[in-house]
Amino acid sequence: MNAKPYIPISRPSISEAEKAAVLAVLDSGFLAQGPRTAEFEACFARLCEVEHAIAVSSGTTALHLALLAHEIGPGDEVITTPFTFIATANAILFTGARPVFVDIEEETCNLDPQLVEAAITPRTKAILPVHLYGQTCDMDALQAIAQRHGLVIIEDACQAVMASYRDRPAGSFGTGVFSFYATKNLTTGEGGMITTNDTHIAERCRMLRSHGMKRRYYHEFLGYNFRMTDIQAAIGLVQLEKLEELTAQRRANAAYLTAHIHSLITPQCREGYGHAWHQYTVRVNGRRDRDEVAQHLKEAAIDTGVYYPVPVHRQRSMAEAAGEAVLPVAERLAGQVLSLPVHPQLNAEELEYIVAEVNKL
Ligand X SMILES: Cc1ncc(COP(=O)(O)O)c(C=O)c1O
Closest residue by Cα to residue 9 from 133, 109, 191, 110: 133
3-class DSSP state for residue 231?
helix
Instruction: In whole angstroms, give the CA distance from residue 13 to residue 6.
Output: 17
Which one, 58 or 253, has the nearer CB to ligand X?
Answer: 58
Closest residue by Cα to residue 69 from 126, 124, 28, 23: 126
Which one, 55 or 351, has the nearer CB to ligand X?
Answer: 55
Which one, 116 or 160, has the nearer CB to ligand X?
Answer: 160
- Which residue of the chain is nearest ligand X when measured via CB? 59
Which one, 208 or 261, has the nearer CB to ligand X?
Answer: 208
Question: Does residue 84 belong to the site contacting ligand X (CB under 6 A)?
Answer: yes
Q: What kind and span of H or E run contains 132?
A: none
3-class DSSP state for residue 218?
coil
Task: Pick one of 88, 175, 195, 279: the residue that binds ligand X (CB under 6 A).
Answer: 88
Question: Does residue 111 belong to the site contacting ligand X (CB under 6 A)?
Answer: no
Burial class (CB in 10 A: 0-12, 13-18, 19+), 186: buried
Report how far Cα 261 is from the mean position of its chain's Cα atoms. 26
Which one, 10 or 60, has the nearer CB to ligand X?
Answer: 60
Work out whether strand 52-56 and strand 192-196 pair parallel, antiparallel, or are unpaired: antiparallel
Distance between start and end Cα atoms, the chain: 23
Question: Does residue 188 belong to the site contacting ligand X (CB under 6 A)?
Answer: no
Q: Cβ of residue 354: shortest distance to ligand X, in angstroms?
A: 23
Which one, 192 or 236, has the nearer CB to ligand X?
Answer: 192
Instruction: In whole angstroms, give the CA distance from residue 49 to residue 283.
Output: 34
Question: Does residue 48 belong to the site contacting ligand X (CB under 6 A)?
Answer: no
Kindly indicate which of the ranges 28-36, 81-89, 194-202, 213-221 contains the residues binding ligand X, using the contact rule CB under 6 A.
81-89
Task: Pick one of 18, 41, 105, 156: the residue that binds ligand X (CB under 6 A).
Answer: 156
Report how many residues bind ligand X under the rule CB under 6 A: 14
Which one, 235 or 355, has the nearer CB to ligand X?
Answer: 235
Question: Does residue 60 belong to the site contacting ligand X (CB under 6 A)?
Answer: yes
- Taking the CA of residue 127 as centre, how many other CA atoms within 13 Å lie in the half-sphere pointing to its CB? 30
Instruction: In whole angstroms, give the CA distance from residue 336 to residue 334.
Output: 6
Task: Pick one of 174, 192, 305, 344: the residue that binds ligand X (CB under 6 A).
Answer: 192
Question: Does residue 76 belong to the site contacting ligand X (CB under 6 A)?
Answer: no
The β-bridge partners of 132 are none
Question: Does residue 305 belong to the site contacting ligand X (CB under 6 A)?
Answer: no
Kindly indicate which of the ranges 20-28, 55-63, 134-142, 223-231 contains the residues binding ligand X, using the contact rule CB under 6 A.
55-63
Question: Does residue 229 belong to the site contacting ligand X (CB under 6 A)?
Answer: no
Question: Does residue 130 belong to the site contacting ligand X (CB under 6 A)?
Answer: yes
Which one, 88 or 336, has the nearer CB to ligand X?
Answer: 88
Question: Does residue 58 belong to the site contacting ligand X (CB under 6 A)?
Answer: yes
Q: Cβ of residue 131: shortest distance to ligand X, in angstroms?
A: 8
Are 321 and 76 a contacting pair, CB within 8 Å?
A: no
Q: Cβ of residue 302: shortest distance to ligand X, in angstroms?
A: 22
Instruction: In whole angstroms, give the CA distance from residue 259 to residue 176.
Output: 32
Question: Does residue 159 belong to the site contacting ligand X (CB under 6 A)?
Answer: yes
User: Looking at this protein, which amino acid is placed at residue 241?
Assistant: E
Closest residue by Cα to residue 60 from 244, 281, 170, 224: 224
Which one, 185 or 355, has the nearer CB to ligand X?
Answer: 185
Question: Does residue 59 belong to the site contacting ligand X (CB under 6 A)?
Answer: yes
Report how far Cα 116 is from the mean position of its chain's Cα atoms. 20
Instruction: In whole angstroms, give the CA distance from residue 262 to residue 264.
Output: 6
Contacts with ligand X, residue ranges (CB under 6 A): 58-60, 84-85, 87-88, 130, 156, 158-159, 179, 181, 192
